[in-house]
Structure 1
Amino acid sequence: MKILIIEDEKSILDLIKMNLILENFEVITAENGDKGLLLFKKEYPDLVVLDLMLPDYDGFELLKQMQFTNYKIPIIILTAKNNQNDKLLGLELGADDYITKPFDSKELILRIRNILKRIKKAEIEPSGFSIGKLEIKNKSRDFYINKEKIYLTKNEFELMNLFMSNYNQVLSRDFLLERVWGYESDVDTRAVDMAIQRLRKKMGKYNKYIKSIYGVGYKLEVDDEK
């Protein structure tokens, strides 16, 4: 597994690199956004650890560019910004997790392994689901409405996959948070609500399929499935 670290503080970069190598990961590094984006496009890493505060790039803008280039590669944000709005913005833009400095190296390794484990698990799940006008393909991680491909971030895709594989069942916010973001994530259920809002927006007139169950969570209910 190849990990790309984009971090301008050499001491932190070296610490992460050393710990990842000890865990038998292949590691490539960049000290700025330009080099990081170049390596992202060239090396096709399995996961990215991204510092938001870079000397030449706004981290959120870099995140958007990486998502545009390849939205299937998971990204963990690593930053000194301990603001909940920044966390939610990072997740909204497609990041898989958010860790604030100072951090514990073991925690970072654990979160990396959990994200990679979830992706590997998804690869061996059923090839896909079709419900009414909705279709999801696990191998290619693509989602279609009425045969039109809809771009979803990784977390949005995981949410839709859960809804379709648990069709017509009520899924609590805590369940969705655990399954998509993991036990170790320090985000709260607001991240779930925001992701659902984005998912509904992308579904257009079919957004009514995701029903809100007051005080509990959400369920997928396709009225015109036949």
Structure 2
Amino acid sequence: MPAAIDLLPDRLSAALLGAAAGEAAAGTAAGTRQLLDLADSIASRGGLDEADLVARGLDTPPATGAAGLVLRATACGLASPLDRPRLRRDAHRSVRLAGGDEGTAITAVAAAVLVADLCRFDLDLALVRLRQTLLEEAPLALHARLQPLDPATAPLCSGDPGATLQVAITALDRAATLPETVEEAAGYGGDVAAAVALAGVLAGARTAFEGCDEEWLAAVPARARAVEVAARLAAASRPL
């Protein structure tokens, strides 16, 4: 397990629990099951195994469509947070396997890179690094999404991949802990299911279990499976 990342097992657990908590707060399926399935597959196979993904039904998108593909691709960032080429490649492949277009795949790469960097850096620095990483390959429309909305703007999510990522980033910017971030994102308007779950993943990677009391954790659906999958990811992690 890479010693450079403090509390990595806790960050992985909190990220996966954050997705489940976000989905519950949104009140509709966002794609958390597919996120857990993808993370479990990567941990079991030591990497992205397309045959195993197909066997798990991951060659089709979740109910939230393209936005859900962006959510589930964060598993690739959590699985190898220090291996940027691998996580970018895996996030892209995971989306294309499920029929996502190139724009969705690049947005998924952005989400995977961001969740990986939030395991080590604060949001501002992680976003700077993300924009530098995608400087040449991402369209200008996506670059405009890689920042929080203005504080005076009330977020309204259209449900498309770029908007979903920006709404999640905005929630991180406006809240501190995982529970607070999920609550913040759940209060936004529009098609927010995937965005709330994504905000939970990103917040968990950033702060681990800071601010999470046992009562909050006990209310998270699929808690046992999220913790189990996170433990397998942590055990499979290795230095570069």
> Could you state the TM-score of these two structures normalised by the residue count of structure 2?
0.24
Which has the larger helix fraction?
Answer: 2
Greater RCO (Cα-Cα under 8 Å, separation 6 or more): 2
Which has the larger strand fraction?
Answer: 1
Rg larger in structure:
1
> Could you state the TM-score of these two structures normalised by the residue count of structure 1?
0.25
